[in-house]
Amino acid sequence: MSVSGTELLRQIKSKIEEIDPSEVKELIDEGVAIVDVRGSEEFATGHLPGAKSIPRGHLESRIEGVVPDRSSELILYCASGNRSAYAARTLQEDMGYEHVRSMTGGITLWKDRGYEIEIPRALTSEQRDRYSRHLLIPEIGAEGQQKLLDARVLLLGAGGLGSPSALYLAAAGVGTLGIVDDDEVDLSNLQRQVIHSTQRIGIPKVDSAEESIHALNPDVKVVKHPVRLHARNIMEIIEGWDVIVDGVDNFPTRYLLNDATVRLRIPVVSASILGFDGQLSVFKPYEGPCYRCLFREPPPAELAPSCGANGVLGVLPGTMGLLQATEVIKLILDIGEPAIGRLLLYDALGATLTEVKVHRDPDCPICSRAPEQIADEEMGVFPDYEAFCAAAG
Amino acid sequence: MATIKIPPVLRASVGGEKQVQAGGDNVREVLRSLASIHPATEEQLFSADGELNRYVNVYLNDEDVRVLDGLDTAVGAGDTLVILPAMAGGLQGSRVQ
């Protein structure tokens, strides 16, 4: 016996549970999974805060990716409450979801009540094309790509480490890249600093880097600081950035950077290179150790290695700079396990990676205290290395 | 004999080796043994009072000996000690990375 569409809907609604928008509004804050079963174009015009989009046609194949646990609470909605009723029946009867409810009146009633909606910023068609390989990865997708486009990453140095980081972060669509470097491109840089070029020898590195970044991805905004970091300018320069990529080449600045980033709670992805060896760690203030937890103080000047030019295998800063870029992206997207509380030691000749643990020091002179307790005059304080390096020539 | 991994900045002090073997039942003994074979490492590792310098970390396998028993931490024959002095980013100490 055939039934009319209206009758079928009535029968289905009698078999599923419905929920009023006022109740959904309460549950949103509790983190209950909310799924929008409308088409993706409808979702793009606005949706319930925090709702995930699974168009009804993809429901069976995608629901487990969003709500893997069949006993967890789940709310579905559409435009008026009909498509979500059919979807609820499918999840309940065919897939065994135990606590599915369909929101009465859909997003239309939700809006009529004056409740908040979220309007997603859509990627342009060119962006969908450019970042298509990101969009295909579930851990990134359109939402993750938007996070990358919104992110602000500051690179300290457009040198060996900064070159590959900047290029790949730009390619990945990190929306704003800041570069701090007061140097000019030199012929001897080009064995490893691949963001520059032979034609640009003698021009400021920040300008050269900007040119390469824009040639690769005009979406990226570049903020240039052709200065050296010091105690008087550091807070102003680093404030407001989401992540800092550290290629700082001397101890005074390394400690100053640590103290300033702890005060501002900015994570630092740090790497260093020498010869055939590289090191990498992520310092996320108050979640993991800071640089002073790792090394309370720098070596005294007489035991420090020469401050003159050191040799390095040209590809090594490439490897380490890209490990930094990878950690930056993980921090922005909040995925994976960033190298927080771990120091990775890469030996290029041996092709080995060794890992050691780094603990927060409960007596750390900086991060054992609240940011507001750290005073300006304490920042970066320890024996003066720049004077030593100047003396050593 | 424990294996000691030598960081780049100390390799000149041990004849260019990346890792060396040294005997001893605890971290202090193993490092003292290293310093007796390669005297140039001594002032890098130990302060005047015989303790580990603050700017040098030593790891037993992957754990910082300061969170174990410090220089008294027991070392077995198959263990690896990693010596790690402070190193600034970029090309250490140099102006241009």
Fill in the amino acid letter for A323.
L
Asked if pLDDT for residue A308 goes beyond 80, the answer is: no
Q: What pLDDT does A392 receive?
A: 46
How far is Cα A68 from Cα A387, in angstroms, rounded to an integer? Answer: 60
Q: Does domain A151-392 have CATH number 3.30.300.30?
A: no
Closest CA to A284 of A216, A339, A225, A353: A339
Euclidean distance between CA atoms B86 and A123, whole angstroms? 44
Chain B residues in contact with A313 (beta carbon < 8 A): none
User: Among A261, A310, A385, which would you mutate to test the B interface (most chain B Cβ atoms within 10 Å of its Cβ)?
Assistant: A310
> Cα dihedral sign for A380, A381, A383, A389?
positive
Higher pLDDT, A329 or A253: A329
B17 has a chain A CB within 8 A of its CB: no
User: Which comes out higher in pLDDT, residue A301 or A182?
Assistant: A182
pLDDT tens digits, A318-358: 999 999 999 999 999 999 999 999 999 999 999 999 999 99
Distance of residue B25 Cα from the nearest chain A Cα, in angstroms: 21
Chain B CB contacts of A273 below 8 Å: 89-91
Domain spanning B2-85: which CATH class is it, in words? alpha beta
Contacts of B56 in chain A (CB under 8 A): 299
Query: Which pLDDT band, with edges at 50, 70 and 90, does A303 fall under?
Result: low
Most B CBs within 10 A among A354, A359, A384, A385, hence the mutation to make, goes to A354
- Write the pLDDT tens digit of every residue in A85-107: 999 999 999 999 999 999 999 99
CATH 3.40.250.10 fits A5-112, yes or no: yes
Give the pTM: 0.79
Termini Cα distance of chain A: 95
Report CB contact under 8 Å: A271, B82.
no
How far away is chain A from the Cα of B23, in angstroms, using its nearest Cα?
22
pLDDT at B97: 35
Q: Is the Cβ of A316 closer than 8 Å to some Cβ of chain B? A: no
Q: Return d(Cα A149, Cα A221) in angstroms, integer.
A: 10
Q: Which residues are registered as beta bridge partners of A50?
A: none
Mean pLDDT of A114-128: 90
Distance of CA A280 to the CA centre of its chain: 17
Interface residue B92 vs chain A (CB under 8 A): yes
pLDDT at A1: 66
> Quick one: pLDDT at residue A40?
81
Q: Rounded to a whole number, what is the distance in Å from the CA of B64 to chain A's nearest CA?
A: 7
Question: Mean pLDDT for chain B?
Answer: 87
Domain locations in chain A? 5-112, 151-392
Model confidence at B92, pLDDT cuts 50, 70, 90, reads very low
Contact call for B96 and A183, based on CB within 8 A: yes
**A 103-162 near B (Cβ less than 8 A):** 157, 159-162
Do residues A89 and A118 lie in contact, with contact meaning Cβ atoms separated by under 8 Å? no
Q: Please name the residue of chain B whose CA is at the shortest distance from the CA of residue A297.
A: B55
Query: What are the domain boundaries of chain B?
Result: 2-85
Put simply, the chain B residues between 29 and 68 with a CB less than 8 A from any chain A CB are 43-44, 53-57, 59, 62-64, 67
